[in-house]
Amino acid sequence: MECNSQQWKGGKHMIPSAFDYKKAGSVEEALQLLTASDDVKLLAGGHSLLPAMKLNLNNPGQLVDISGLDELSYIKEEDGCICIGACTTHQDIVNSSIISAKLPVMAEVGSTIGDIQVRNKGTIGGSLAHADPAADWPAVLLVCNAEIVMISAAESRTVAAADFFTGLYATALKEDELIIEIRIPIPAPDSRAAYVKFMQPASRFAIVGCAVMTSGNGSFEDVKVAFTGVASTAFRDQGVESALNGKPRSNDSIAEAAEKAAEGVDVLGDHFASENYRKNMAKVYAKRALEAVM
């Protein structure tokens, strides 16, 4: 099926260029359609791709709709991990009893994404593939040591979240690959995690978002801190981590470590926040996230 389009002359709003649309009935069919042309994009929830198409920032010749693939929509516990299918919606994650019991920070993150319409249609796999520098999932997946499972017609492979996000809207996902699953090790019983963000009020994307995970009782142990919205891609902040590991659980320790936030990082500056403002907000939100797990 071909979808025609037109531009609104003289206005800011755009309608996508013409494209062919096909709905995949299985993962195998999706992979076949993905490699049948050099100009194909996968469509799941559409809340990342469609806005880019409306602005003519992305003009695929064909969309392959995978939103109906129930085989990629699930949350289950397996081999010490929480496994989330790529087509699982943000709201499914928020509502999951498994997530609430074993990985509540994921429900916390999901509840902050967009509005109820976005959460009910947008998918975790689509968000990861799009790799918006202000998206929420990357930061928490980094501190959770998550893995992304991808498949092509020839093979499947698993990439650590730390190696998946490679740059501005760039990932390790190859053109002939489809994300099928996110695997997250179940945290130790004494682990604590939190996610806080300074959000753009209309889109609710993170101008600065900070995820933390730590263990230990009297002191901070195995500290992991990650930011989204600060740089061209989400990143682990080793400066904050090093400053806090082994330190007493105190406000003074947190305040000292938070001052290290985004050191040596090429911080973004845009019409939402200047580089200096973002860097200062990184310190503020590192402190708030760490206080939440104290």
Q: Structural domain boundaries of the chain? A: 2-65, 71-185, 192-292
Tell me yes or no: is domain 192-292 CATH 3.30.390.50: yes
| Long-range pairs, 225-228, Cβ under 8 A, ≥24 | 225/143, 225/286, 225/289, 225/290, 226/138, 226/139, 226/140, 226/142, 226/143, 227/139, 227/261, 227/262, 227/282, 227/286, 228/133, 228/134, 228/135, 228/136, 228/138, 228/139, 228/197
**pLDDT number for residue 103:** 97
**pLDDT number for residue 87:** 95
> Taking every pair of C-alpha atoms in the chain, what is the biggest distance, in angstroms?
63
**pLDDT number for residue 4:** 44
Kindly give the pairing relationship between strand 62-65 and strand 19-23: parallel
| CA 71 – CA 86 distance, rounded (Å) | 9
Cβ(107)–Cβ(94) under 8 Å?
Answer: yes
**Sheet with 192-199, side-by-side order of all strands:** 192-199, 206-215, 221-228, 235-236
With CA atoms as reference, report the closest residue to 83 among 158, 181, 179, 187: 181
* DSSP class of 115: -
Write out the chain's pLDDT in tens, 294 residues.
Answer: 444 433 333 444 567 778 888 899 999 999 998 888 778 888 887 777 777 777 777 777 788 889 889 999 999 999 999 999 999 999 999 999 999 999 999 999 999 999 999 999 999 999 999 999 999 999 999 999 999 999 999 999 999 999 999 999 999 999 899 999 999 999 999 999 999 999 999 999 999 999 999 999 899 999 999 999 999 999 999 999 999 999 999 999 999 999 999 999 999 999 999 999 999 999 999 999 999 999
Q: What is the CATH number of domain 2-65?
A: 3.30.43.10
Beta bridge pairs of residue 50: none
**pLDDT number for residue 7:** 38
User: What is the architecture, at CATH level 2, of domain 71-185?
Assistant: 2-Layer Sandwich (3.30)
**For 199-226, b where at least 16 C-beta lie within 10 A, e where not — what string?**
beeebbbbbbbbbbbbbbeebbbebbbb
Taking residue 60's Cβ as centre, other Cβ atoms within 10 Å add up to 19
Q: Is 248 helix (H, G, I), strand (E, B) or coil?
A: strand
By the 10 Å C-beta count (0-12 exposed, 13-18 middle, 19+ buried), 10 is classed as exposed
**pLDDT number for residue 14:** 64
> Do you know the residue count of the chain?
294
**Sheet with 147-151, side-by-side order of all strands:** 75-78, 81-85, 178-185, 147-151, 156-160
Task: Tell me the one-letter amino acid at 94.
Answer: V
Token pair belonging to 285? 């939100």
| CA 101 – CA 116 distance, rounded (Å) | 22
* C-alpha distances out from residue 55 to 6, 11, 64, 171, 288, Å: 12, 11, 20, 22, 35
